[in-house]
Amino acid sequence: MFSTLLLAQRATLPPQFPPGPAITTVTVLIHVALLLLVIGSIAGLFFTIRRPTRIWDLLIWPIIIVSAFAIASWYTGPDETQIFIVGYAFFVLLIAIFGLGIGFIRVFTNSAKVSRAGCTVVALVVLAVFIALLLPATPSVREAARRTDCKNRIRQIAIAMHNWHDAFGRLPDMAISDGTNPTRSWRVELLPFMEGDSTRQKYRDDRRWDDAENLPVAQTNLQDLRCPSVKHAQNQHDEFGRYFTHYLAVTGPNTIFANGKGMNLDDIANGDGTTKTLLLVEASGRNIVWTEPRDADTAVQPIGINLLGNSVYDSPSLLSTYHPAGANIAFADASTFTVPKKIDPKILKALTTTNGNDPAERGF
């Protein structure tokens, strides 16, 4: 009932990106079960102190420990939820060990004098330290590591583009064609520069990107093209199992890829400069298959980060991210930066252009 009410309440909220942790019946039941074990452990600790302890009373604590960790190990879910599951189990372990120790003392030493106040203080201190330090810290550390990994991935794509530039004298076009075959995404053509030669060889140039012949290639899980913080299936692949890319090139008027054509880096340097011109952006809410010749168009996408879309898995904005700190971007010099979500749209718009002297850029 409780989980049904939560799901109903979430359904009435306006779409937001990114979606929060999924609240399921299983998640709620596991939380309730572990919470009851926590309450039972604390109650058992005080009963152990208040009445004589017998040998068979010591068996209760191992049963509690095994039950807590069996439930915790069975559940796998988002870090934001899983950390509390682990926290419950860890706290039950501490209380059970403390209770087991008191039980042994009272049974085998016939001691009836165990400080109730001391037990209370220890239990409360352990609980306070656990909540204050462990729970908030672990998800943030994991997310910081994922954000760094995401930044490295977008940088590797930018470096591959530079290698392409060294080979052909300019950056790749967004939609590449030899005049007879259908257009291909620059991501397909860039595979040999990203240690993806075998995948590139499987792609049929004489077929469209969405042709059945190219379906196995689109279903290839290229992690270098995906943000590690995206764990929802709806933002990883479509109904055909074709994986999305979370990193898009910036196209549109006055961008590096104006009219879909790649520029020479020297021309960019003569404008706003390679350190102030966007090359790639993180766009986890666009849901574009990585083989599709489509990217972030400043003439179509609204300028902003995590703007609302039609669902919690969709964001039409130029940048969209699962990172609380902001979206990752790569400049034309292959340097990377995390853009805060509250960035002035005028600054963000100015960073997309090449032919410059945009006053707004000076505030970045």
Buried b (16+ CB within 10 A) or exposed e, 119-154: beeebeeeeeeeeeeeeeeebeebbeebbeebbebb
Please report which confidence band the pLDDT of residue 214 belongs to, taking 50, 70 and 90 as the band edges: very high
Q: Given a cut of 90, is residue 280 above it in pLDDT?
A: yes
| Predicted TM-score (pTM) of this structure | 0.74
Q: Given a cut of 50, is residue 7 above it in pLDDT?
A: no
Helix (H) or strand (E) holding 331: strand 327-331
Q: How far apart are CA 248 and CA 157, in angstroms?
A: 10
Stronger pLDDT, 284 or 13, i.e. the higher one: 284
Q: What pLDDT, in 10s, does the model give residues 116-138?
A: 545 555 555 566 555 555 555 55
User: Span 272-301, mean pLDDT?
Assistant: 95
Task: Using alpha carbons, list the distances in angstroms from residue 125 to 35, 111, 130.
Answer: 18, 25, 8
Residue 56's pLDDT is 63
